[in-house]
Amino acid sequence: MNDVPDVRPNYFEPNYDPAKIAPYTLEDPLTFLDGRKVKTPADWQSRRREILDIFAKEMYGKEPPAPECLVTELAEEKIGALAGFAVRSQYKMYFKEDKSGPCIDWLVLRPRYAKKPVPVILFLNYKGGHELIPDEEVFIPDAWCKTPPDHKLPRERGVQCDPNGATTFPAGILLAAGYAVMTACYCQVSPDPVSDEKEERFKQENFAWTGVFDLWGPRDESRTDNTTSLGAWAWALSRGLDLAERIPEIDAARAVVTGCSRLGKAALIAAARDERFSAAVPVQCGGGGATLAKRDFGENVATEVKMFRHWYCKAYGKYQRNPAQLLTFDQHLLVSAVAPRKLLIAGFDKPWFDAEGEYLACKAASCVWEFLGKGGMPRVPYPGDFDTSAIGSDLGFYRRSEEHGIADFDWLRLLEFVRQDR
């Protein structure tokens, strides 16, 4: 690797010039590392495991183990929430019998008048479930927040009901469509310090490894594949699915995982790792998520490992000088690991996010869905903003403009996509 030249003199600066994208080659998702071709669905399962092992060793760190103990406690419930249409339940989740150690609060909303178990949309939120609906009974999590000066979660309720916000949460529409919703605050899982955090005790290299990391013992800093925050957030989404399986009114076999930005990355990782998720809709997950790293456009490997040291394992840093030549894998392989389940990538039309890199990743992964007898991504040119022509029955991509977040437009695309086979 030392003989490979730097891709650009200052590779920490993002490239926004398409003419400066170096040539690159993408690995075939249907070819094993030893050159063998995937010939059967059973072969694909082995290849999928091989792909996940690559990402565990080289990018996201080793996958955390399932908890030895999972205690879920119904802490509060109201029948007739949200103008009478919902059942609102709040659960506390512990990982020790004595309820010591990490705790995650889950907010569950489900249709009150459903006649049979309903599918569920599951995601992590940024600042607490109390921001999603204007309900005084929703718990405000006891969690550290990266916002100074006091690092406490904001107390304002229902802010995501504002249609002018970058992120909206149409609770009534989701319930009316026949879906339950489960969400927890990602800060309770693992804190997310900024790269320029001033307080020593809250710096990324130490403070990020708290929360659920306390369950996994001391870190071995000699390893290059330690569990990362992205891996921990993905792990928590699987624990939410564990809870869904314990709620009789929820059909956990039809669970949809979503999330925006870094939590969209976590949703994609969770879906790739956990085959219990029947569908995934990562929104604006960008670099480090669905975007091809070898394209070196917008956010790149160097900026990722510099700004977000806790999101990626140490091994990933060795690719930053010239990802086009040094990387032996790319994000299309992670995308393919979701096959044959449903996957919709929602892109954001800002250069930093390189939505075209997401489209190309889906295009390169589409062969796996087709091989497994599912619908690949439609063979259309890179679509413009709000163009849904690249959304197929099982794999799709779209992009939009405006602000960064999950908007009503995104929620509607999610519902249309996951409801096609109902």
Q: What is the pLDDT of residue 248?
A: 98
Q: How far is residue 282 from each of residues 37, 41, 96, 166, 290, measured CA to CA in Å? A: 29, 25, 31, 16, 9
Look up residue 54 and give its amino acid: I
- Assess whether 79 and 224 both reside in one domain: yes
Give the DSSP letter string of 59-109: TS-SPPPPPS--EEEEEEEEEEETTTTEEEEEEEEESSTT--S-EEEEEEE
Report pLDDT digits (tens) over 86-124.
Answer: 999 999 999 999 999 999 999 999 999 999 999 999 999
- H-only helix segments in 129-181: 171-176
Q: Name the pLDDT band for 150 (thresholds 50, 70, 90).
A: confident
Among 188, 220, 248, the domain boundary falls at 248
Predicted pLDDT at 99: 96
Point out the least confidently predicted range of 75-89, 201-215, 249-263: 201-215
Q: What is the mean pLDDT of the chain?
A: 96
Closest of 282, 187, 284, 193 to residue 236, by C-alpha: 187
> Is residue 269 assigned to a domain?
no
**Based on the domain organization, do 99 and 183 belong to the same domain?**
yes
Local structure of 326: helix, strand or coil: helix
Give me the numbers of helices (H) and strands (E) for the chain, helices first please: 11, 9
d(Cα 46, Cα 403) in Å, to the nearest integer?
Answer: 40
Instruction: Give domain status of residue 92, yes or no.
Output: yes
Burial category of 330 from C-beta neighbours within 10 Å (exposed 0-12, middle 13-18, buried 19 and up) = buried
Percent of the chain surpassing pLDDT 70: 99
Q: Is the per-residue pLDDT at 420 higher than 90?
A: no
Q: Classify residue 411: in a domain, yes or no.
A: no
Indicate if 93 and 242 belong to the same structural domain: yes
Q: Are residues 183 and 157 in the same domain?
A: yes
Tell me, yes or no, whether 42 and 80 share the same domain: no
Reported pTM: 0.98
- Domain check: are 231 and 343 in the same one? no
Distance CA 101, CA 365 (A): 40
User: For residue 241, what is the enclosing H or E element?
Assistant: helix 229-244
Q: Both 236 and 378 in a single domain?
A: no
Q: Same structural domain for residues 197 and 243?
A: yes
pLDDT band at 421, cuts 50/70/90? low
**356 found inside a domain:** yes
296 and 389 in a single domain? The answer is: yes
pLDDT band at 2 (very low <50, low <70, confident <90, very high): low
Does residue 369 lie in a domain region? Answer: yes
**Do residues 283 and 410 touch, judged by C-beta distance below 8 A?**
yes
Do 141 and 194 share a structural domain? yes
Instruction: Tally the domains of the chain.
Output: 2
Question: If you average pLDDT over residues 356-361, what whole number do you get?
Answer: 98
Q: What are the tens digits of pLDDT across the range 239-286?
A: 999 999 999 999 999 999 999 999 999 999 999 999 999 999 999 999
- Cα–Cα distances in angstroms (integers) from residue 36 to residues 25, 39, 46, 56, 397, in the given order: 18, 9, 11, 22, 29
SS3 assignment for 107-127: EEEEECCCCCCEEEEEEEECC
Is residue 210 in a domain? yes
Q: Copy the structure tokens of residue 193.
A: 């310090």
Does 25 score more than 80 pLDDT?
A: yes
175 and 101, same domain (yes or no): yes
What's the order of all strands across the beta sheet hosting 118-125?
71-81, 86-94, 103-111, 180-185, 118-125, 250-260, 279-283, 342-348, 395-400
- Residue 205 pLDDT exceeds 90: no
Question: What domain range is 165 assigned to?
Answer: 67-248
Residue 263 CA to residue 127 CA, distance in Å, equals 12
From start to end of 266-394, where are the E strands? 279-283, 342-348
Residue at 364 is within a domain: yes
* First CA to last CA distance, the chain: 50
**Does 81 reside within a domain?**
yes
> Which of 201, 233, 248 delimits the end of a domain?
248
Q: Are residues 91 and 54 in the same domain?
A: no
pLDDT of residue 1: 67
**pLDDT at residue 411 greater than cutoff 60:** yes
Region 28-46: mean pLDDT is: 98
